[in-house]
Structure 1
Amino acid sequence: MSQSDPPEAIRFLAPDLFSGQVAVVTGGGTGLGLQISRGLAALGATVVIASRSAEHHQALLEEGDAAGWRVYSETVDVREADRVRELADRVVEKQGKVDILVNNAAGNFVCPAEKLSAKAWRAVLGIVLDGTFYCSRSFGRHMIAAGGGQMLNVLATYAWTGMPGVVHSASAKAGVLAMTRTLAVEWARHGIRVNAIAPGPFESKGAEANLWPSEEVREAILRGVPLGRFATPDEVASHALFLLSPACAYVNGEVFVQDGGASLGKGMWTPGDRVGRRKA
C-alpha cells in the first residue's frame, strides 16, 4: 500500500468518525503513531503530530496536503515538562481545544539488565513514563477545563508479564499501565476517559532494527505467537481507532490486547497432540 492510498486501518470505520475533533499524537510521524495519525486524519480529525525530529513529520504533512487532511506538526521532547506544557497551551491556542491525546512516544532496545547503563535506563523511562505523565497532565488540564476528552496510551503485554532484555521498557510500561487506570478513575468525573492498547509484535522498521535484528531472532519470536504471524501496523492502528470511537464510549481504564495470543499460557503439551498417561 502506498502512502497515497486510504489507510487500511479505517476500512471498518464510518467516514468522518472524528470530524470536528482535535487529536494530538506523540511520536506520530513514524511507525504505529504514523498509522494512528493517518487514520484519525482520514476520518476527519485535525491531527497534531509531536515528536523530537522534524524530519519524521514531513511524510505525513505531504500526504495530508495531497489528501486534504488537516495535519500539523510540533517539535517537542516529551521528557521536558515545561516544553510539553508550552506545547499543550500552543495547540489549544491554535486549534481551540484538544479532544484526543495518544501517548505513543517510546524508546526501546534489547539489553541485559546487568549491562544496562544508568543513562540508557533514564532515557527510556524519561520518554515512556515521564513523557506520558507530562503530556497527560498538560493536555489533561485543558480537557478538564473544557469538560471532557480522552487519552489512549500505548503499552506492551510485558508490562504485566515482564520480559528479559527490556527491563527499562517493561518497567516504564508497567508504570504507564498504573497511570492509565489511576487517571481513568481520577479524571472520569471530568468526562475524561483513559484507556490503553497493548500490541504484541508487529511489523515495523523500528522493531526490526531493535527487537528482532536477525532472521533467527524473528523466527524465535514468531514461534511464540499462536496465530503464527506478526500484526501489521494498520491492524494495531484500527484497534486504537476503534477504542477512540463512540462505540467505546463506556470503556474506561481498560487495556485492549492485540498480540495474536502471544501473552496467553501455552501449556505443557503441543496443541493437537494427545498426551498419553504413564502406565503404573
Structure 2
Amino acid sequence: MHTMLNSNTFHGQTALVTGGSSGIGLSIALGLAEMGANVAILGRNQERLDSAVDQLTALGHTVRGYSVDVRDNVEIQSTIEKIGQDLGQINLLVNNAAGNFRVDPLELSPNGWRSVVEIVLTGTWNVTQAVARVAIETGGPLSVVNIGTTAAATGSASTVHSASAKSGVITMTKSLAAAWAHHGIRLNIVSPGLTKDTGGVDALYGSPDELAGHLKAIPMGRLAEKQEIANACAYLLSDYAAYVTGTNLIIDGGRQLGTH
C-alpha cells in the first residue's frame, strides 16, 4: 500500500471509521493505521469486524472493533465513551457506514426508505454529534470526513433513498463546518464515483454490460481504486488540509464533466 503522507502523519492520534470492516472503509482504516493512528472501527457484522481487526493489527498499531448500529443514538454515545477509554479521545472521524440497494421508486417500501436514510443520514449525525461534543468540551482537535456519493449531485433513478440521504449528509457537513469552525473542528466530504471491489459496485452494477456502459461515461475510462479514496480522506484529515473545511471532493475520473 502506498500512501502519500509519511508514516508519522497521525502518530498518537485516534481515528474512528464507521463501516470500517470492509470495502472503502477498511481501506481508509488501513491507511490511517499505516500513518500511525490508533484505529477504532464500527460495524454490524462481528465476523467481518474480527477479520478487519486482524488485518489492521498486523500493521502493529492499537486497533479495536465495536459491533454497533449507528442508528442507535444511545448506543453510539456509550461506544464513543468506550473508545475514549480504550484508545484515547477521537481526533479523526470518517463516517462511511451506509446502506443501499436498487429499487424502482414506486416499489420502495416505507421500511426500505427509513432504513437507508437512518443508517446514512441519521447515523452520520449520531456519530458526528457525539464525537464533536467531546472535542468541544475538551478543546481537543477534530477533523471529520464524511463519505458522500456523486449520485447526490446527479440524482439516481434506482437508488432514490440513498442518493437523497447522501445529499443530506453533504448539506449537514457544510452546515457543521460553518457551526464548528471556531472550535477548530473541520468537516469535509469525499464523494467517490464507482469504486472497484466494493459491495456497492458489485451489488448495484453486477452485469458486465451495464458496467461497460458506465465506463464509457467516465473520461478516464476506469473505476476508482479504494486506495485512491483512502488517500483523499487522509489528506483532508491531515494538517496539510488545515485551511480546508466544508469542501466536497469529487473523485469520479471526470464523469461529471461528460465525455463531450
What TM bracket, shorter-length normalisation?
over 0.9
Query: Which residue, out of 241, 253, 258, partners 1:248?
Result: 241
Post-superposition shift, 1:211? 1.2
Query: Which residue, out of 9, 25, 37, partners 1:33?
Result: 25
In structure 1, the residue matched to 2:216 is 223
Is 1:43 the equivalent of 2:35? yes
Cα distance in 2 for partners of 1:55, 1:152 equals: 26
Is 1:185 the equivalent of 2:178? yes
Is 1:152 the equivalent of 2:145? yes
Post-superposition shift, 1:129? 0.4
In structure 1, the residue matched to 2:77 is 85
| C-alpha RMSD of matched pairs (Å) | 1.2
CA contact (8 A) 1:202 1:230 kept: yes
Q: Secondary structure at the match of 1:160?
A: helix
Cα distance in 2 for partners of 1:266, 1:223 equals: 8
In structure 1, the residue matched to 2:161 is 168
1:98-140 per-residue CA deviation (whole Å, 9 max, x = no partner) reads 1011100001121111111111111110100000000011111
In structure 2, the residue matched to 1:99 is 91
1:38-93 per-residue CA deviation (whole Å, 9 max, x = no partner) reads 00001100000011111112223222333312211111000111111111111112
The 4+ residue runs of structure 1 with deviation greater than 3 A are none
In structure 2, the residue matched to 1:212 is 205
Paired residues in the alignment total 259
CA contact (8 A) 1:38 1:60 kept: no
Q: Secondary structure at the match of 2:186?
A: strand
In structure 2, the residue matched to 1:3 is none
Cα distance in 1 for partners of 2:143, 2:133 equals: 12
CA contact (8 A) 2:218 2:259 kept: no
Structure 2 residues without counterparts, runs of 5 or longer: none
CA contact (8 A) 2:194 2:201 kept: no
1:130-167 per-residue CA deviation (whole Å, 9 max, x = no partner) reads 00000011111011112231111000012122121110
In structure 2, the residue matched to 1:238 is 231
Cα distance in 2 for partners of 1:146, 1:154 equals: 26
CA contact (8 A) 1:23 1:48 kept: yes
Cα distance in 1 for partners of 2:41, 2:12 equals: 17
